Structures are given as structure tokens and as C-alpha cells.
Amino acid sequence: MIRFFRSLFPSRWVVLVLLFLLIRLPLLFFGVPATLSELHHMLLGERLHEGFVLYRDVYDATAPLSAAVYWLLDSLFGKSYLAHRLLATAVLGYQAFLLNHIFNRNQVHPYKSFVPALLYLVFGSVFFELDVLSQLLLGQTFIILAVSNLTAISKEATNAGRLFRAGFMLGLAALFYLPLIWFLVLGFFAIIYFASNAFRSILLMLTGFMFPFSVVFTLFLYQDATLPFLEQGLAWSWQFKFTFVLPFWQVVKIAAIPLTVLLLSFLSLPLVNLGLNYQARFLQFMLIWVIVCGLVLISGHDGSAKGLVLLLPLLGYFGVFLFSWQGKKVWLAEILFLVLLAGVVVMRYNPLGLVYAPLGIEPQRVQVQDSPLYQQVRNERLLVLGPDLNYYQHNHLGSPYLRWDLAQPYLGRLHYYDALFTVYQDLRKNPPTYIVDQQGLMPELQYKIPALFQRYERVGNGVFYRLVQ
């Protein structure tokens, strides 16, 4: 199969697309339940579609351009998990072929092929959580577009436009997922390796990078949301509070196949003969990319399998060296790839439930739990006093408090007057129909803000409170 994709005949990319869809689509239509990340994205898009302003009326740390995508999807398709997953599939496919085009155009490997795209698409389907339309997946598209401009730099007058576009794409990437700002470091090294007049080139790239930030800042300024944007959209991402949705070792087990391929690819580098000076410089550039990926992962806050998206460009580049055996040894590459492909399919589909349990992987930690507890109320506007988003799966967000950690400065400080006043202002105009009191806060809220919370009565002995007047 590897030998088949070493050719650039048009039939190869058609077969590649069909293979990708064959691996990917069955699980999209008939597979696992929705993930909590997808539910979060749809709640955010729905709230923004209702006319509320990000950060000011919805307490969330989602980057502004990613939030705009979720808003657009809700405007077009409503609360549709399938729409999110199909778009994620299309984005991943576009990234794979764009990166493959960059490698072939610049001749960064000893031969041109579709192998980088093949590795990108196969390992991008290793686990169902990679089907999520995450901020990281959206932002990585613009990282690859920036690399396309950075690595094609020449000494001609067109240099300036390419550098500005590269910086602009890096700025867009950071506005989709702020930790991607670390790729500015990669941009600096790209200028050193591929450009002339480094100081002027860096200024051009930085100018392009700041341009989309200035536009977004101006938009929030007109919406009277500048301070919330600075606090939640920018400053919050640098608190380095890392939360593992999946335990660390479970993520490592899921990533075992792509990490093994990456390690074997690194070990095969001494056996590779890079003939062109450009190819040697591009190898150094990709090694810097490895370090930057580590910085992005450390700066992120959501420890789950979604972060594997960052490894895909590295697998697409370094993996080619692993499968570059020639002559009589080519059958080793074929067998190795078929074994890896089978491993990816088994990890993705967990046949007969025989994979996740022995490995100690708990996919339910990232999935929406559709238990009777969460179905007591449907199609109502909720405020959940707690971190459990499952209550929203059949309902709508009825307050600004989408993220419980960002609500803590208010609902976690009820002994301060300013916190009580903010809660009252947030809810008085459009109070939710139901409140789910996971944290046992309602008695204190009813005592300290009676004008608002005395309007709710408890439903039975459970955690639900219903608005009655």
C-alpha cells in the first residue's frame, strides 16, 4: 500500500480519499455518543446565535474565531453533532492534502508522493475524540497555511507579501486557539532558515500577526466587552492550569501507535540521505516544530486525545523516512504499515469492547452520559450550579455561566457584595426556567438574593429548582 501511494498519479489521491472516508465515516453516523467538548461547543454556538456577546454575556475561554465557527454552525444547522463532525472531517482532509502539497512543492523529501497525506489521515482517525471540531484542529489549518508561505520564501520582491500573509495566518491560528501563539517561534526560525534580511522579515511577520488581533480587539471594544475579552479570551490561557479529562496514562495508551511511529521515524533519520541543502534546513525546521508542539501542549488546559492533532504534521513529515525502504526490503514497509493501519482501526472502533477495557481506557469520561438523571427536564433554559454539562444535552444554556471554573469569581464568593451584585445583574433580566443545584448553593442564594432566587421552588427532593413566578 505504501508503494501504491508513492506515485503522484491522480488515481492515488482518489483512493486516499476513499480510504479516509472508509475509516472515518462509519463511526460518524453510527458510532459513539457525543463528547462533552462537542456539547460545550454547541451550547456556546447556540447562546451566541441568540444574540449574546462572547465573554461579556457568556463566561467562556473559547477563542473568538472558534466561537464564531460554532455560532455559524448553529445558525445553519442548529444543534447538530453530525454537522460538527463532518466539518471536522473536511478540515482534517484539507490539512492533509495541503501539507502534502507543501512537501512536494518544496521537495522536502527525497521523492514526491502521497505518503505524508496518507499518514496524516490514517493517524488522524486513531481515536473517536479526534472527530471533534476542536479549537486546535481549526487553528492548525492556519498554521499549515503559514508554513506554506514561510517555507516558500525567496529573495524576490514577493517576499514581503508572503511574510505578511504568514504572520496573518499565525495570528488567525492564535485567535482560533491561543496557545498556538507559540508557533511564532517557528516563524522566527523559518525566517532564519529560508529568508533574507531577517530583521525586516520579522517585522513584516509581526505586523501581519498583530493585524487580526487589532481587528478582533476593535470589535469587542464596540461591544463593550474589551475587559472580559482580555480576562477570559487572553489572560486566562496563561494560567497553566492543566486538567486531564482523560487520565494522562490513558492518553498515552491511545497515542501509543502514533508515538511509536514518530519514535521509529526519529531513529531512522541517521539512515536518510538528504541530498539538497534545502532538505537539510527543512529537517532542522521540523525539529523546531517538535519543540513548539510541546510548548503548545503544556500551555493547553484540556488534557485529552484531541491534542494528538498536533502530532499529525510531524507524522506526515518524519513518517516518510520510516517507510522509505527500497529494493528487497520494501515488503517490510508494507507489512509495518498494514499492521499500523489495523491497529488504528482497532483502536478507533474497539471491536466487541475488547480493546478499551483491557487497556484501562475509559472513553465515557469524555462522552455525554444520557442517563435518566439528565432527562428529567427537556427543552428548558437551565443554570447548572456545578461543572456537569450533561444536564444541558436536552436543554439550553439559560445563563452566562457556561464554564463553572470561570463562574467561581462570582458563585464561589457569595460572601462578597460585588459577587452577589454581579450574579443578580447576570440573571435578573432573563432568569433560567430551571436551576440544577449540584453544589448546594440555592439556600444561600435564596437568603442573600431573595428578589431573584426566592422565585424558585425545589422539585421534590432532587437538585432541580423550578421558576414559579
Instruction: Convert the pLDDT of each residue in 206-227 to its tens digit.
Output: 999 999 999 999 999 999 999 9
pLDDT at position 28 is: 81
Angle between helices 81-106 and 115-123 (to 10 degrees): 150
pLDDT value of position 272: 77
Give the pLDDT band (50/70/90) at residue 155. Answer: very low
Q: Closest by alpha carbon to 427, among 403, 455, 461, 386?
A: 455
The total of other beta-carbon atoms located within 10 Å of residue 358's CB is 8
φ and ψ at residue 301, rounded to 5 degrees: -120, -10
Mean pLDDT of all residues in 419-425 = 94
> What was the pLDDT predicted at 299?
85
Confidence (pTM): 0.94
Length of the chain: 469
pLDDT digits (tens, 9 = 90+) for 385-402: 999 999 999 999 999 999
List, for residues 72-95, the tens digit of each pLDDT value: 999 999 999 999 999 999 999 999
Taking residues 62-69, report their average pLDDT: 96
pLDDT at 192: 85
Residue 448 is predicted with a pLDDT of 94
Across the strands, what pairs with 434? 382, 466
Q: What is the pLDDT of residue 110?
A: 83
Whether residue 120 has pLDDT greater than 60: yes
pLDDT digits (tens, 9 = 90+) for 5-16: 887 888 888 999
Integer Cα distance of 323 and 4 in angstroms: 12
Mean pLDDT calculated for residue range 245-264: 91
Separation of alpha carbons 63 and 192, rounded Å: 30
Query: What integer best gives the mean pLDDT of the chain?
Result: 89
pLDDT tens-digit readout, 278-287? 888 889 999 9
Whole-angstrom distance, CA of residue 160 vs CA of residue 292 = 25
What whole-number distance in Å separates Cα of residue 340 and Cα of residue 23?
Answer: 13
Q: In whole angstroms, how far apart are CA 223 and each of 52, 53, 215, 228, 403?
A: 10, 8, 13, 11, 21
- Which amino acid is present at 322? L
Q: What's the one-letter identity of residue 313?
A: P
What is the distance between the alpha carbons of residues 297 and 295, in angstroms, rounded to a whole number? Answer: 5
pLDDT band at 153 (very low <50, low <70, confident <90, very high): low
Task: Answer yes or no: is pLDDT of 196 > 70.
Answer: no
pLDDT > 70 fraction of the chain, expressed in percent and rounded: 96
| Separation CA 34–CA 32 (nearest Å) | 7
pLDDT number for residue 289: 95
**Per-residue pLDDT, 240:** 66
Instruction: With beta carbons less than 8 A apart as the criterion, state whether 71 and 47 touch.
Output: no
